[in-house]
Structure 1
């Protein structure tokens, strides 16, 4: 049995899925997390062996005591933005692995180059390993001074078993492949939602298409959403309500202007959805092979996004099913079970 302390920012379903698997494998965890974001009102689950503590309820001295608990086999910290987490880790006197989780893609910008040089000076003081999301993040960890044999990928994993049922029971059994696009995410401008709505309306009118668009989420722009007879806004859905909300959809679209990863891509790949992703979506590196299970488009380019939507609108059922099969195959390469195996390796 292993026990870890996880110092986390904003909780999300993908971490809960992996923690469930961690606990099912006979292990324990303490999760300190930021207060729940009102834009994504997450409901904390009950998991035997996993304790959740909101950071706003902890004094700094209590956090220091947690990081020095002799029951721990390792400490995981989500990024470097929370300085109180870093100070607590620096205070730890335990000789156990301290693991940095990061989802930043390496772009080679001047800002990243400067940051990585500074980070090299302090990384070894705080962390022994890096656990990144995918290949686009590995180079960033290397630039920060981590040796490649101390870097692992796959920290984010969807609840593959929950979503693959939609692929097996709906998409593969349907007489006709669903002619409905699906967006799941916050209603904020950098998610590209206004680009999506504009491109969808244009493509629908030009092709006289009967395709629909379902949008699930909430956020500061929800009141400014585009109202159209073929665009359905369902609002925010808890993880256990998502499967119901996506009923009748068949192609997933994520038009983000900035998206270091996007676990939602993994979720809907597992559900067998062909993909239409902006080139800024990091998860595409693992779950989208252009031309095989979907397409990329230039972020912020409405015309390019419209062309992608139009390609799907013109496809036959057999073409859509082939893409669906390939999406599911790619998704099954990353699972919560593999997450647990990786954490064992790090400890």
Structure 2
């Protein structure tokens, strides 16, 4: 029996599904320590999402009980600790506390490289912290490049940090296929914040509407400070925050996903859309397009900040509506490697291999 602890930030439905799949593996015992934000949680059902898992939930505004956390970690006697990033105090404590120096640790992150002072200096600033890990697990190729820049040897960098429950989304694809025609509605999913470039999305949608007859509507699922940019915009429906279990049905009612971000390391919403058979329009800044979107095959990839390119991509989807179901079906195989069962199998093998390092 291998005992594994994940130290995580954010209680998401997709990771909970993956953790349940891993917890169901007979020779793996799993424990979770998850920190979530209290401010702006918008009624997100954190505890419900993690129900049935051996999980301890804490809010980010609570003082960190280091002695208590140290005791609970020691009581579990982990063979491996998976630590997400370096910014969350709970994660930093787990990685650096001397009581657990002998326990093997994997560094988990999804960030990508950028020419900013903070990221350029990261290998120096984080050197002592990162040397505590035997390897890194990242979301995809762009994060793997950053892991290499941080100093991890290529043999110690693995992809596959994130997975999802593909079955509900496959069912959404099936429901959509039974409709008489492709739903004439674009979908955007994500927090309404500056890096998601809602301003760019709205302007591209305006241009698209001005160029076609009977334009499609645009549904925006999410909350955030830029929600005001959606107000009183013709054709745009802002539906606010949607719970994870609502997303497959939302996907079934739409014809294509549109993401306009100028920084988005590995947006899971693209994986969900591809798993539901939706064609995707996204910017090059969306890191998950590297693994999940092929231009002209199951989506359209636009330059980051290219409002005209986004408008043309929407017009292209509009003009080729009859082709979109087949286009979406092509992407299903690209999402298959991220299914929770595959994710759990990969982690089972990874846990066994890493636990033997140095023995």
**TM-score with structure 1 setting the length:** 0.91
| Residues 43-192 of structure 1: pairs in structure 2 closer than 5 A | 43=45, 44-45=47-48, 46-55=50-59, 56=62, 58-91=64-97, 92-93=99-100, 95-107=102-114, 111-124=118-131, 126-170=132-176, 172-192=177-197
Is 2:349 the partner of 1:345? yes
Q: Deviations over 1:173-200 (max 9, x none)?
A: 2221222110011122221112112211
Of 297, 303, 311, the residue aligned with 2:308 is 303
**Are residues 168 and 235 of structure 1, via their aligned partners in 2, closer, same or farther at CA, if it must alter by over 3 Å?**
same
* 2:355 alignment counterpart: none
Retained in 2: the 8 A contact 1:234–1:245? no
Q: For structure 1, which segment, 210-219 or 335-344, has the greater mean C-alpha deviation from structure 2 after superposition?
A: 335-344
Secondary structure at the counterpart of residue 126 of structure 2: helix
Shift of 1:111: 4.3
Secondary structure at the counterpart of residue 332 of structure 1: helix
| Residues 204-223 of structure 1: pairs in structure 2 closer than 5 A | 204-223=209-228
* 1:3 alignment counterpart: 3
Tell me how large the CA RMSD over aligned residues is: 2.2
**Are residues 221 and 106 of structure 1, via their aligned partners in 2, closer, same or farther at CA, if it must alter by over 3 Å?**
closer
* 2:272 alignment counterpart: 267
Secondary structure at the counterpart of residue 188 of structure 2: strand
| Residues 173-252 of structure 1: pairs in structure 2 closer than 5 A | 173-252=178-257
Q: Deviations over 1:143-180 (max 9, x none)?
A: 2222222221111112211111111232x222212221
Retained in 1: the 8 A contact 2:230–2:236? no
Task: Please identify runs of 4+ aligned residues in structure 1 that moved more than 6 A.
Answer: none
Distance 2:105 2:73 in 1: 10
Shift of 1:127: 1.3
Retained in 2: the 8 A contact 1:209–1:313? no
**TM-score with structure 2 setting the length:** 0.88
Q: Deviations over 1:283-323 (max 9, x none)?
A: 10111011111111122222221111111111141x21221
Q: Deviations over 1:247-270 (max 9, x none)?
A: 420101111111011011101100
Retained in 1: the 8 A contact 2:18–2:343? yes
**Are residues 99 and 40 of structure 1, via their aligned partners in 2, closer, same or farther at CA, if it must alter by over 3 Å?**
farther
Distance 1:37 1:21 in 2: 30
Retained in 1: the 8 A contact 2:3–2:76? no
**Are residues 184 and 147 of structure 1, via their aligned partners in 2, closer, same or farther at CA, if it must alter by over 3 Å?**
same
**Are residues 335 and 70 of structure 1, via their aligned partners in 2, closer, same or farther at CA, if it must alter by over 3 Å?**
same
Secondary structure at the counterpart of residue 272 of structure 1: coil
Retained in 2: the 8 A contact 1:214–1:232? yes
Is 2:330 the partner of 1:323? no
**Are residues 262 and 4 of structure 1, via their aligned partners in 2, closer, same or farther at CA, if it must alter by over 3 Å?**
same
Secondary structure at the counterpart of residue 57 of structure 2: strand
Unpaired runs of 5+ residues, structure 2, are: 352-359
Retained in 1: the 8 A contact 2:85–2:91? no
Secondary structure at the counterpart of residue 209 of structure 1: coil
Secondary structure at the counterpart of residue 33 of structure 2: strand
Distance 1:40 1:328 in 2: 31
Distance 2:256 2:222 in 1: 17
Of 32, 35, 51, the residue aligned with 1:33 is 35
**Are residues 263 and 253 of structure 1, via their aligned partners in 2, closer, same or farther at CA, if it must alter by over 3 Å?**
same
